[in-house]
A and B are shown apart, each in its own frame.
Chain A
């Protein structure tokens, strides 16, 4: 077998050293009736590389890759162009096949990269410090709610209705078990943001207010007032960013007063990958750092006084604190964080701002064009690169009809909300730098046709 270096003579020599007659004899501690005597039935035997590759090629062909179609899907996962050098660099074996940097003297590559990543993330989100990454945006969001409860010693969080429904779902699932109370500010989505309701809901019981920016419909709203009201009552503002590219064009949540800013970093470097692996971003004000979950990398010196980096403040973590840890989280999303960081380094300040400008402009052009279709209305007056349309027909079948024509034309709110989310016939459309003027035209024509065909049906 190509992945197994031992030969039969090797095995025999080793068994002689051990003093065992064969390999099966090493499993003497397994109760006899639980030992399988041969390969498990119903499972195929080993395959040559060529045939495995063919199996996957056949399956891959049954999926429609975004690159081959006019593509407008977002809602927490965005298609951006990733420079070729990113994927080349993350495949270097020293990054790809290393592990958690437990031995810092021979893991300075990973550690310095994490230190750079933490700084990039903190600056982008407008915070003092950031951790070395979380699993993804949704788990980072839940961890932020838990952290706010630890900081304020209160267990009542208020969630904005603009928060991604999967993020809400994750938080609700976890809260069922932890005893946290989650108030959803507005039972259902409406065209206006729920800022007024959030402000009205904050009181002395509130641990935090959780607001997404830009939100699930693509709207952007100033967070300053919510932040001020939260602070007035001793609560924290948690901001959730699922499209970090937006922060190249928009004010950061940190500068508007958010105490904890979490997000999904998939837009930069990582790619779509059908939803994972992604990279959770987690940043906060310096004074809360010891309540932070996850890994942190810090600067220090070595025995010769040279600068170096180590994992630090690990007394917060499970392997030291066991049941008293700030989180049960034991890993980060190292390789995705590396991809994020490399992409961010290639862009730099100038590139990120330009990228954001192109995204925003393309989205504005698309919104302009699509709202020329009779019966199609724009629900979201302000947005970055994603907006919501109200269609004259139920959106879900329209999306399916467009997919049959080779156009991936947005996400219907019905896909995300069992009850449609409160905005009838809502369609969320994301427009990044990967969209061409021709794509927008194709989309408009296909949508027009799908709406017409629907009318005839």
Chain B
């Protein structure tokens, strides 16, 4: 806050504001302990039952009136880039348009205002939504069953790996190793380790899993393999069926990270490729909003071999009635279920949104979704392969995302500079420095909801920023120049962590 040194040569303002770009203090600096934006009913006469546990100390929570609250959060929101504003090509994140019909549906009182433990007779419509979405997910993936409760993609991975472990334990087969390609999302090895497995890495060859190396590692101690398809280099794992057959022959299971399902939805069923478990990110493929980092939703589809071990709860249909199988009824059937992953039944608010999206597109529309997503990515790849190094451009079409590297930049210029330069051009940068198998990786995922004109604009902008990086344009090193903040010091944040606000005098005293 305070004086504006306007290093870009524009005049400073007294407030630090710049027209529509308004600085906003923290609620702790502008709120008051006596200010309240809510009117409550009077407290009825009663005898307290708190015993000796009444709060005596102040909490330290600032309040704002309703108008101040609306303004505070509106100002904050304007310092954010979102899909509604522009192109958001984060590779592996599938930042597609979030239809507002989904929001409307999720907010219907009959879905938004029902309790997870309400009597089953009073929530038949909600159970129907879960059942219908489950049918779509199982049918689209060609699998046997689906566990709806996992709260996010990584949670779904955990669900899948736990089912693998439960299946192996059920046949008295304690295996210790999960194979994970080095190009995998970091969550894959973390998940395998969390589930009690030792992780062994499989090398990549030309952007795909080295099939021979993987098969050579198979044996009686390998519980399974976690493989992302389409993978994090934006390529389809051609050998997945061959790999799956080999893994199955060795007594293991195949987990597929379904983060990139958007590229193949409606065109390929993972079940036909020998997959035993796969999570589906409803917030990617099925357009539920990313919300600044969650909530997501990660249902897991299972093969017949793993289905008996899937976690509680289940929704089952019997004639016209829906039932919920929870702990008290699970002993009768689903006796091999490995247990429970969350309180209640999963991300209902995301189920309604995802089903609304799926029904809007239908089976025919989803096939066009994956087709357009892949078309957009290939168009970007071919339009930029002569400007940026594209390590796998020679190995045929990419899937949902195009991968580039920082090879050929001037000395001292890197992927980060290109990303920050794109911010000034009005675009959210692509995913950077991932996957780790490519130096200075840039992963561009346009999704199907970008127009050709919008993509052309992005191509022009990225080309110009890349040319500046090649030419060693010093102004790129200090980008972004026009964002609400200049480059932020992440090293300082980690070296001296300040994670909560403290009164200035206390903050000084603490040092």
Of residues 234 to 255 in A, which have CB atoms within 8 Å of B's CB atoms?
247-252, 255
Of residues 150 to 198 in B, which have CB atoms within 8 Å of A's CB atoms?
151-155, 157-158, 162, 165, 185-187, 189-196
Q: Is B90's CB under 8 angstroms from A349's CB?
A: no
Determine the residue in chain A with the shortest Cβ distance to B132.
A59
The answer to the question of A201 belonging to the interface, with a C-beta cut-off of 8 Å to chain B, is no
Chain B 312-354 near chain A by CB (<8 Å), digits 1 or 0: 1000000000000011100100000011111111111110100
Residues of B within 8 A of A98 (CB): 80-83, 290-292
Q: Is B293's CB under 8 angstroms from A36's CB?
A: no
Q: Is B70's CB under 8 angstroms from A85's CB?
A: yes
Q: Is A274's CB under 8 angstroms from B111's CB?
A: yes
Residues of A within 8 A of B294 (CB): 133, 135, 277, 331-337
The answer to the question of B213 belonging to the interface, with a C-beta cut-off of 8 Å to chain A, is no
Of residues 82 to 141 in A, which have CB atoms within 8 Å of B's CB atoms?
83, 85, 87-110, 112-113, 115-116, 118-120, 122-124, 128-130, 132-133, 135-139
Are A274 and B126 also in contact (CB < 8 A) when A135-B155, A334-B291 are? yes
Are A119 and B190 also in contact (CB < 8 A) when A304-B486, A382-B50 are? no
The answer to the question of A153 belonging to the interface, with a C-beta cut-off of 8 Å to chain B, is no
Which of A43, A99, A271, A277 is within 8 Å of B93, CB to CB?
A99
Which of B52, B119, B331, B500 is within 8 Å of A418, CB to CB?
B331
A351 to B112, CA, bound (A): 24
Q: Count the A-B residue pairs with Cβ separation under 8 angstroms: how many?
A: 732
**How many interface residues does chain B have, given as a range?**
35 or more
Are A346 and B38 also in contact (CB < 8 A) when A116-B27, A329-B154 are? yes
Residues of A within 8 A of B10 (CB): none
The answer to the question of A433 belonging to the interface, with a C-beta cut-off of 8 Å to chain B, is yes
Additional 12 contacts, C-beta under 8 A, given A112-B26, A177-B196: A2-B360, A46-B361, A71-B115, A94-B79, A97-B88, A103-B81, A105-B483, A276-B345, A306-B1, A335-B294, A338-B291, A354-B36
Of residues 1 to 25 in B, which have CB atoms within 8 Å of A's CB atoms?
1, 5, 7, 24
Q: Is B1's CB under 8 angstroms from A307's CB?
A: yes
Determine the residue in chain B with the shortest Cβ distance to A129.
B499
Of residues 20 to 68 in A, which have CB atoms within 8 Å of B's CB atoms?
20, 23-31, 33-36, 38-40, 42-47, 49, 52-53, 55-68
Residues of B within 8 A of A132 (CB): 293
Q: Is A95's CB under 8 angstroms from B82's CB?
A: yes
* CB of A362, distance to nearest CB on chain B (Å): 7
* CB of A340, distance to nearest CB on chain B (Å): 12
Q: Is A26's CB under 8 angstroms from B69's CB?
A: no
A167 to B98, CA, bound (A): 32
Residues of A within 8 A of B96 (CB): 3
Which of B43, B154, B362, B485 is within 8 Å of A306, CB to CB?
B485
* CB of B268, distance to nearest CB on chain A (Å): 5
Q: Is B44's CB under 8 angstroms from A271's CB?
A: no
The answer to the question of A298 belonging to the interface, with a C-beta cut-off of 8 Å to chain B, is yes
A221 to B50, CA, bound (A): 9
Q: Is B118's CB under 8 angstroms from A99's CB?
A: no
Q: Is A34's CB under 8 angstroms from B269's CB?
A: yes
Which of B88, B348, B365, B450 is within 8 Å of A276, CB to CB?
B348
* CB of B331, distance to nearest CB on chain A (Å): 7
Highest count of chain B CB atoms <10 Å: which of A27, A66, A381 = A27
**What are 16 A-B pairs at a CB distance below 8 A?**
A1-B365, A4-B365, A14-B375, A95-B291, A130-B500, A165-B327, A272-B115, A274-B126, A302-B485, A304-B7, A310-B490, A334-B295, A350-B63, A358-B43, A365-B44, A403-B119
Highest count of chain B CB atoms <10 Å: which of A279, A334, A348 = A348
Q: Is A318's CB under 8 angstroms from B36's CB?
A: no
The answer to the question of B216 belonging to the interface, with a C-beta cut-off of 8 Å to chain A, is no
The answer to the question of B368 belonging to the interface, with a C-beta cut-off of 8 Å to chain A, is yes
Residues of B within 8 A of A426 (CB): none
A350 to B63, CA, bound (A): 8
Residues of B within 8 A of A3 (CB): 96-97, 99, 287, 360-361, 365, 369, 448-449
A357 to B43, CA, bound (A): 7
Which of A181-189, A203-211, A319-327, A442-450 contacts its partner?
Answer: A319-327
The answer to the question of B217 belonging to the interface, with a C-beta cut-off of 8 Å to chain A, is no
Q: Is B396's CB under 8 angstroms from A28's CB?
A: yes
Which of B53-61, B407-415, B466-474 contacts its partner?
Answer: B53-61
Chain B 471-492 near chain A by CB (<8 Å), digits 1 or 0: 0000000101001111111101
Q: Is B345's CB under 8 angstroms from A67's CB?
A: no
Residues of A within 8 A of B42 (CB): 358
Q: Identify whether the interface residues of B are mostly helix, strand, loop, or mixed.
A: loop
The answer to the question of A164 belonging to the interface, with a C-beta cut-off of 8 Å to chain B, is yes
Which of A49, A90, A123, A170 is within 8 Å of B60, CB to CB?
A123
How many chain A residues touch B (CB < 8 A): the figure is 221
A61 to B371, CA, bound (A): 36
A53 to B100, CA, bound (A): 11
Are A46 and B364 also in contact (CB < 8 A) when A112-B24, A433-B40 are? yes
* CB of B297, distance to nearest CB on chain A (Å): 7
Chain A 394-406 near chain B by CB (<8 Å), digits 1 or 0: 0000011001100
A342 to B83, CA, bound (A): 22
Determine the residue in chain B with the shortest Cβ distance to A330.
B154
Determine the residue in chain B with the shortest Cβ distance to A419.
B328
Residues of A within 8 A of B122 (CB): 63-64, 403, 408
Q: Is B82's CB under 8 angstroms from A94's CB?
A: yes
A55 to B88, CA, bound (A): 31
* CB of A70, distance to nearest CB on chain B (Å): 13
Q: Is A13's CB under 8 angstroms from B140's CB?
A: no
A16 to B63, CA, bound (A): 59
Residues of A within 8 A of B121 (CB): 400, 403-404
Q: Is A56's CB under 8 angstroms from B105's CB?
A: yes
* CB of A344, distance to nearest CB on chain B (Å): 6
Are A249 and B81 also in contact (CB < 8 A) when A26-B397, A323-B190 are? no
Q: Is A43's CB under 8 angstroms from B493's CB?
A: no
